C-alpha cells in the first residue's frame, strides 16, 4: 500500500523527515577514478586553471563529440555567453531561443545586451519548433540557440536550412544532452559552436563546469583568449579588449577526465532506465512520453512524462504524492516568456501546456532496476 501524503508533510524543508530509501531525481556517479585524479591534482600543486587535466579533459571531450576543439569554462551559462560574445552578438541583436528551457539560455543572451526572442516547441519532442522559429525571424535576428531538451536532440537540419537562408548563426545549447545523436552524429558538432554544462546533475559532472565545442579553429582560439581576460597566448598581461575569467580549474577537470572514462556506460544505463520506465508506465491512461524521432538518439538526461487527464492526479498533485512515497520529481521549466524578466503578452501555447503537465522522474544512472520498478508501481497505484 502506498504511504499517504500526510506522512511526510515537511519534506521540502526537513531532510531528516525523508524515508531512508528516498529516491532523488539525480545523484552523480563518482566512484571511478575521480578521487584518485583529484588527489593527484592536489598533490601536484596545479589546482587553478593551468594543469594537465584541463588539457586532457578538453581533448577527451572534443574526441567524444567528434569535433576539432573543446574549450573548458567554469559553467554552462558562461559557455553560452562566451559563444555569443565571441561571435559578436550584442545590443540591438535578437537571438531566438526556445520558450521551454532552463533560464540560463535566455540570460546568456541578455548578458550580451541582445534580446532573447522566444519560439514555441514541438509537442512531440519538446524541442524548439523550426516553423515557429521562422515566424520569429526579423531583420535584427542574428542567431538561433536550439536546446537539446532533457536529452533529445533539436531538429538541427531544419534549423541549419533556416540559418543558411537568413544568414544566422546556429549555437547548440547541449547542456542536457552529452552524447545525443542525429543520424549517427553527436551533438556538439552540429552547429557553428555548442555549449555544455557539467553541473552535478548533468550526464557527466565536474561539480560546476562547462565546455564549448567547435570545428572552427579561429573561433576556438578566440574563446580561449576571451575566457582568460582576452590575454593573447604569447603576450602576458596585454589585453586588446575586455575579456572574462571563465576558466575551469584543474581540480574540476580531474573529475571530468574520470567521468569521461565512463560516459558511454552512463549513457547506456540512462537509455536502459528510460526503456524500463516506458515498459513500467505503458498503458497508464494520461501518462505519455516524448517521441524519439527517427534517426535521433535521446540520452534521457531526464526521463520525463506528461501527466494529463484521465490520470487521477494533476502534475502538481502528483509531485507531493510521489514525495510522500519517498520519490523525488521535478516539474518542467516555466516557459521563459512567462517569467518576470522576459514576460510576453502571448506565451507560446505548446510550451505553456507542457510546462503545466510535464514531470521529470528520478533519472540518475545510479538508479537500480528495482527503484525504477517501485516508481512505476507507485505511479500505477496513484493513477486511479
Ligand atoms: C538547457 C540549459 N542551458 C544552460 C544551463 C546552464 O548550465 P550551468 O548550470 O552549468 O550554468 C543548463 C543547466 O542546467 C541547462 O539545462
Predicted pLDDT of residue 12: 41
* Residue of 77, 55, 85, 3 lying closest to 256 (CA atoms): 55
Number of H helices, E strands in the chain: 12, 14
What is the full per-residue pLDDT of the chain (384 aa) written as tens digits?
343 333 333 334 344 445 558 999 999 999 999 999 999 999 999 999 999 999 999 999 999 999 999 999 999 999 999 999 999 999 999 999 999 999 999 999 999 999 999 999 999 999 999 999 999 999 999 999 999 999 999 999 999 999 999 999 999 999 999 999 999 999 999 999 999 999 999 999 999 999 999 999 999 999 999 999 999 989 999 999 999 999 999 999 999 999 999 999 999 999 999 999 999 999 999 999 999 999 999 999 999 999 999 999 999 999 999 999 999 999 999 999 999 999 988 889 999 999 999 999 999 999 999 999 999 999 999 999
Rounded to whole angstroms, how far apart are CA atoms 269 and 362? 13
The answer to whether the pTM exceeds 0.85 is yes
Mutate-to-test residue for ligand 1 from 187, 199, 210, highest number of ligand atoms within 8 A of CB? 199
Q: Give the domains, in start order, of the chain with CATH numbers.
A: 34-118+126-260 (3.40.640.10), 263-382 (3.90.1150.10)
Rounded to whole angstroms, how far apart are CA atoms 58 and 62? 6
Predicted pLDDT of residue 182: 98
Q: Output the residue whose Cα is nearest ligand 1's atom 10.
A: 76
Q: Is 122 in the pocket of ligand 1 (CB under 6 A)?
A: no
Contact at 8 Å (CB) between 367 and 23?
A: yes
286 phi and psi angles, rounded to 5 deg: 90, 5
Predicted pLDDT of residue 225: 98
Contact at 8 Å (CB) between 152 and 358?
A: no
Rounded to whole angstroms, how far apart are CA atoms 90 and 69? 24
Contact at 8 Å (CB) between 119 and 136?
A: yes
Q: For residue 171, give the DSSP letter.
A: E
Q: Is 197 in the pocket of ligand 1 (CB under 6 A)?
A: yes
Q: Output the residue whose Cα is nearest ligand 1's atom 12.
A: 175
Secondary structure class of 125 (helix, strand, coil):
coil
Q: Is 101 in the pocket of ligand 1 (CB under 6 A)?
A: yes
Predicted pLDDT of residue 21: 82
Grid cell, residue 297, equals 538518439
Contact at 8 Å (CB) between 226 and 83?
A: no
Grid cell, residue 49, equals 586553471
Bridge-based pairing of strands 210-214 and 296-297 is: unpaired
Q: Is 252 in the pocket of ligand 1 (CB under 6 A)?
A: no
Q: Which residue has the cell 545523436?
A: 181
Which letter, b or e, does each residue of 37-74 get, where b requires 16 or more Cβ atoms within 10 Å of its Cβ?
bbebbeeeebbebebebbebbbebbbebbbbebbbbbb
Predicted pLDDT of residue 195: 99
Predicted pLDDT of residue 197: 98
Predicted pLDDT of residue 19: 53
Asked, as a colleague might, if the bond just before 310 is cis with ω within 30 of 0, I would say: yes
Closest ligand 1 atom to the C-alpha of 78? 11
Amino acid at each position: 500500500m502506498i504511504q499517504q501524503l500526510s506522512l511526510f508533510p515537511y519534506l521540502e524543508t526537513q531532510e531528516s523527515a525523508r524515508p531512508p530509501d528516498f529516491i532523488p531525481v539525480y545523484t552523480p556517479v563518482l566512484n571511478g577514478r575521480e578521487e584518485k585524479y583529484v588527489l593527484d591534482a592536489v598533490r601536484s600543486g596545479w589546482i587553478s586553471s593551468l594543469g594537465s587535466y584541463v588539457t586532457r579533459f578538453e581533448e577527451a571531450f572534443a574526441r567524444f563529440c567528434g569535433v576539432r576543439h573543446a574549450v573548458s569554462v567554469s559553467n554552462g551559462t558562461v559557455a553560452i555567453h562566451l559563444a555569443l560574445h565571441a561571435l559578436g552578438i550584442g545590443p540591438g541583436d535578437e537571438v531566438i531561443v526556445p520558450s521551454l528551457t532552463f533560464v540560463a539560455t535566455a540570460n546568456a543572451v541578455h548578458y550580451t545586451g541582445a534580446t532573447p526572442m522566444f519560439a514555441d516547441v514541438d509537442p512531440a519532442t519538446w524541442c524548439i519548433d523550426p516553423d515557429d522559429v521562422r515566424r520569429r525571424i526579423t531583420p535584427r535576428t542574428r542567431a538561433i540557440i536550439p536546446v537539446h531538451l532533457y536529452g533529445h536532440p533539436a531538429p538541427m537540419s531544419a534549423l541549419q536550412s533556416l540559418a543558411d537562408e537568413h544568414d544566422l548563426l546556429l549555437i547548440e545549447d547541449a547542456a542536457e544532452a552529452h552524447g545525443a545523436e542525429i543520424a549517427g552524429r553527436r551533438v556538439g558538432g552540429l552547429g557553428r559552436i555548442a555549449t555544455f554544462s557539467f553541473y552535478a546533475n548533468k550526464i557527466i559532472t565536474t561539480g560546476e563546469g562547462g565546455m564549448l565545442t567547435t570545428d572552427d579553429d579561429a573561433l576556438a582560439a578566440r574563446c580561449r583568449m576571451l575566457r582568460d581576460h582576452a590575454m593573447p597566448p604569447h603576450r602576458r598581461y596585454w589585453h586588446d579588449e575586455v575579456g572574462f575569467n571563465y576558466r575551469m580549474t584543474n581540480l574540476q577537470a580531474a573529475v571530468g577526465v574520470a567521468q569521461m572514462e565512463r560516459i558511454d556506460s552512463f549513457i547506456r544505463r540512462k537509455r536502459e532506465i528510460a526503456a524500463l520506465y516506458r515498459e513500467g508506465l505503458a498503458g497508464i491512461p494520461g501518462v505519455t512520453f516524448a517521441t524519439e524521432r527517427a534517426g535521433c538518439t535521446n540520452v534521457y538526461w531526464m526521463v520525463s512524462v506528461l501527466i494529463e487527464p484521465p490520470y487521477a492526479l494533476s502534475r502538481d498533485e502528483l509531485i507531493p504524492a510521489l514525495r510522500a512515497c519517498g520519490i523525488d520529481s521535478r516539474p518542467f521549466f516555466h516557459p521563459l516568456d512567462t517569467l518576470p524578466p522576459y514576460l510576453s503578452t502571448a506565451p507560446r501555447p505548446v510550451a505553456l501546456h507542457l510546462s503545466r503537465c510535464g514531470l521529470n522522474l528520478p533519472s540518475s544512472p545510479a538508479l537500480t532496476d528495482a527503484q525504477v520498478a517501485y516508481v512505476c508501481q507507485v505511479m500505477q497505484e496513484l493513477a486511479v
